[in-house]
């Protein structure tokens, strides 16, 4: 199956974790960063990819704990790193229990790789767009 067709198939059957994370990332909702899902790179498909920051976000279910899958994931991480793509991974259960932590890690990774200026209202000492 060609990459485009496989990517479409993956997008049509997301897991609950992918649905949740996509609800945060789609349409530039996450601090104006553009994400793509089920994005093909080489022989791999990235769960979520921000081209601007060269950042891949992967959600792992229980099968990622098996040694064979861990070896495959390590090869994939090495391949992505060779292309300048940083990969961050979260367990599905972690997404369920620690939503704010996951958001913070993603935000910090994006800011480290392709910073967007924060809106004035998020900076300390600024009230209503004016310094207090």
CA–CA dist 29, 74 (Å, integer) = 30
Q: State percent of the chain over pLDDT 70.
A: 73
Q: What is the pLDDT of residue 61?
A: 76
Classify strands 126-127 and 130-131 as parallel, antiparallel or unpaired. antiparallel
CA–CA dist 101, 23 (Å, integer) = 16
Mean pLDDT across 91-111: 93
pLDDT tens readout for residues 8-37: 565 566 788 999 999 999 999 888 899 999
Is residue 85 scored above 70 in pLDDT?
yes
Q: Is the pTM of this model over 0.85?
A: no
- The domain in which residue 36 lies consists of 3-131
CA–CA dist 94, 77 (Å, integer) = 20
Is residue 66 scored above 80 in pLDDT?
no
Is residue 7 scored above 90 in pLDDT?
no
Q: What is the pLDDT of residue 73?
A: 84
> Residue 21: exposed, middle, or buried by beta-carbon count in 10 A (0-12, 13-18, 19+)?
buried
Is residue 69 scored above 80 in pLDDT?
no
For 23-46, b/e burial (b = at least 16 CB within 10 A) is eebeeeebeebebbbbbbeeebbb
Measuring CA to CA, which residue among 101, 104, 94, 116 is closest to residue 34? 116
Q: What is the pLDDT of residue 26?
A: 93
CATH number, domain containing residue 105:
3.40.960.10
What is the pLDDT of the chain when averaged over all its residues? 82
> How many domains are contained in the chain?
1
Other CB atoms within 10 A of residue 70 CB = 12
């Amino acid at each position: 199956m060609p990459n485009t067709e496989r990517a479409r198939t993956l997008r049509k059957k997301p897991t609950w974790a992918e649905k949740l994370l996509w609800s945060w990332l789609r349409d530039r909702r996450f601090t104006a960063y553009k994400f793509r899902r089920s994005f093909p790179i080489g022989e791999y498909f990235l769960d979520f990819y921000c081209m601007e920051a060269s950042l891949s976000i992967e959600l792992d279910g229980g099968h990622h704990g098996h040694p064979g899958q861990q070896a495959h994931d390590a090869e994939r991480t090495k391949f992505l790193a060779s292309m300048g793509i940083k990969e961050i991974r979260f367990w599905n259960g972690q997404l369920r229990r620690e939503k704010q932590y996951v958001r913070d890690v993603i935000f910090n990774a994006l800011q480290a790789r392709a910073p967007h200026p924060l809106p004035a209202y998020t900076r300390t000492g600024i009230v209503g767009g004016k310094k207090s």
